[in-house]
Structure 1
Amino acid sequence: MTTALVTGATTGIGAAFARRLARDRHDLVLVARDRDALRRQAAELHDRHGVEADVLRADLSTDEGIADVEARLADPARPVGLLVNNAGFGLRGAYLKAPVADELRMLKVHCEAVLRLTTAAAGPMRERGRGGVVNVASVAAFLPRGTYGASKAWVVQFTEGAARDLAGGGVRMMALCPGFVRTEFHQRAELRTDNIPGWMWLDADRVVDAALRDLARGRTVCIPDARYRALLGAARLMPRGALGGISSRAGRRFGPRRGGDATA
């Protein structure tokens, strides 16, 4: 039975990954900042699906938190066959409105943690000749969407490059790029959502189903909905200035505050 490690596991897309992987009979390592929420989640998944679910409290905006998860991924006695780098958050406020300290914290979680944890997992996976990594990005990676979009664009580029470098070694790498997903993400960041059309909202469980299908097919980028694939296809034909205006109106940020550990 494969063990999967999921960061940002207690809410949103991370929780949906944990539910689906437990249902598929994967043992789990659940990573988040809230120890009590992790313990409740682990007990529920164990009771419902009979899998082993270990908890690892870690704050991935700190070196100590990242190092703790790196150590677990590198443990040869307890190999991890699937890593889901899901932890992340959004910021309220346009560029120069959000504090630089919060911007740097976001880069630490979205970029440095993804790089270090992917590296810690992929090395042992390549030695075993099998394994998979899902790095949760966003459709914002393909749009002029400020520092959040820039960090997610890095995730996509990094994942595609790593996938090429590891091709043929049995390790699958994929960037998951959902659109607006009904999770706690926007509420935690206090982002406006009343101007988002209903058709743009996705279900977290369906996003995860699509992601695991595409990972099994060997795809390196997953946009888990035909409507968003069409939207991004059309966006490539639009002037970049017009695209930037549309992007800034969707889920406009207001005020310099930060969100929590759930990526969208």
Structure 2
Amino acid sequence: MTSATPPRPARPTALVTGATAGLGAGFARSLARRGHDLVIVARDAERLDSTAAALRAEHGVGVEVLAADLSVRADLDRVAQRVGSVEAPVDVLVNNAGFGLKQRFFDGDPADHERMFDVLCRAVMVLSRAAAGAMVPRGRGRVLNVGSVAGLVPGGGHYSAAKAYVIVLTETLAGELRGTGVTATVVEPGYVRTEFHARSGMRSGGSSSLSNRIWLDIDEVVDAALDDTFAGRVVSVPTRRWKAVSTLLDVAPRRLVSTVWNAMPSGARRRHPTQR
């Protein structure tokens, strides 16, 4: 009697927010190369469709698109429902969506700052909780939140405050998940060459060796972050040079860090790492 051929195991699925540009697009490409089907989330439906078509053609993976503005609560709830699906489980969540503001906190547009909070903080909270709630009963899963070295800088504006929240939330979640088979990781990159900087007219490196050492390429950040995520590490800081900066910012007196930061030219202060 011939035994039946066992069914081919399904590919794991990763959901990436802000997946059509910058780091998000890099995460989607790398996860597809690593054999994951994808759910990609962004606001622009047309760009989502073209990104999905390119990923399918290049990597032969399944790609589901989900158009959503994470600052809109109804949209965020739809994404959270997809993250928490039992019938179509998400194995890896990458909370990447984000943006920066070229305005001060105290006299900027309140609506802009509220939207930043909703995307950079509230969405990360809601989606991380939805993912953990679905993953823990299965005994497996990965949550990767995109933070920033800026989150270690007091005086770095609302962006730094939001990234500090992401760092502490992820570290808290990782502690709660210990022993469940589910992990949480926060990546804290420095300056990354993305289209955010191009749109903002910001220089992202030049001919000097110092400039080239400061700026990171997207794939450099993405590969380090995913390697650390699948290794179960809580904090990922890509490259030795930025690990050194992160360590210094972590141990230096906060008042000193704030004084040095505020002594920089205002334009430089607004050039937060990892804006995308």
The TM-score with structure 1 as length reference comes to 0.91
Change (3 A) 1:224 1:100: same
Distance 1:215 1:4 in 2: 13
Counterpart AA for 1:167: R
Distance 1:6 1:156 in 2: 18
Distance 1:194 1:247 in 2: 19
Q: Does 1:24 align with 2:34?
A: yes
Counterpart AA for 1:17: F
Which segment is superposed worse, 83-92 or 118-127? 118-127
Matches within 5 A, 1:75-114: 75-114=85-124
SS of aligned partner of 2:102: coil
- Residue in structure 2 matched with residue 150 of structure 1 by the alignment: 161
The TM-score with structure 2 as length reference comes to 0.87
Counterpart AA for 2:224: A
Change (3 A) 1:240 1:192: farther
- Residue in structure 1 matched with residue 48 of structure 2 by the alignment: 38
Counterpart AA for 1:151: A
Distance 1:170 1:9 in 2: 26
CA displacement at 1:83 relative to structure 2: 0.2
Change (3 A) 1:197 1:82: same
CA displacement at 1:253 relative to structure 2: 2.8
SS of aligned partner of 1:92: coil
SS of aligned partner of 1:39: helix
SS of aligned partner of 1:30: strand
Counterpart AA for 1:165: E
Change (3 A) 1:192 1:242: farther
Change (3 A) 1:194 1:170: closer
The correspondence for 1:2, drawn from 9, 12, 18, is: 12
- Residue in structure 2 matched with residue 179 of structure 1 by the alignment: 190
Contact 1:182 1:203 in 2 (8 A): yes
Counterpart AA for 1:253: R
Q: Percent identity?
A: 46
Contact 2:17 2:41 in 1 (8 A): yes
CA displacement at 1:241 relative to structure 2: 4.1
Counterpart AA for 1:240: R
Contact 2:14 2:37 in 1 (8 A): yes
Q: Name stretches of at least 5 consecutive residues in structure 1 with no aligned partner.
A: 255-261
Counterpart AA for 2:132: A
- Residue in structure 1 matched with residue 4 of structure 2 by the alignment: none
- Residue in structure 2 matched with residue 203 of structure 1 by the alignment: 217
- Residue in structure 2 matched with residue 234 of structure 1 by the alignment: 248
Distance 1:115 1:161 in 2: 11
SS of aligned partner of 1:41: helix
Counterpart AA for 1:156: I
SS of aligned partner of 1:197: helix
Contact 2:105 2:113 in 1 (8 A): no
Change (3 A) 1:76 1:194: closer
- Residue in structure 2 matched with residue 49 of structure 1 by the alignment: 59
SS of aligned partner of 2:268: coil
Distance 2:34 2:249 in 1: 36
**What do residues 98-137 of structure 1 show as CA deviations (whole Å, max 9, x unaligned)?**
2111111111011111011111111110010000000001
Q: RMSD in angstroms over aligned alpha carbons?
A: 2.0
Distance 2:203 2:260 in 1: 14
- Residue in structure 2 matched with residue 258 of structure 1 by the alignment: none
Q: Name stretches of at least 5 consecutive residues in structure 2 with no aligned partner.
A: 1-10
Contact 1:191 1:252 in 2 (8 A): no
Change (3 A) 1:170 1:194: closer
Distance 2:35 2:259 in 1: 45
Counterpart AA for 1:183: T
Distance 1:234 1:71 in 2: 40
Which segment is superposed worse, 175-184 or 210-219? 210-219
Which segment is superposed worse, 217-226 or 172-181? 217-226
Distance 2:220 2:211 in 1: 19
SS of aligned partner of 2:64: strand
CA displacement at 1:215 relative to structure 2: 1.3
CA displacement at 1:187 relative to structure 2: 3.6
Distance 1:176 1:185 in 2: 18
Larger Rg: 2
CA displacement at 1:263 relative to structure 2: 4.0
Counterpart AA for 1:153: A
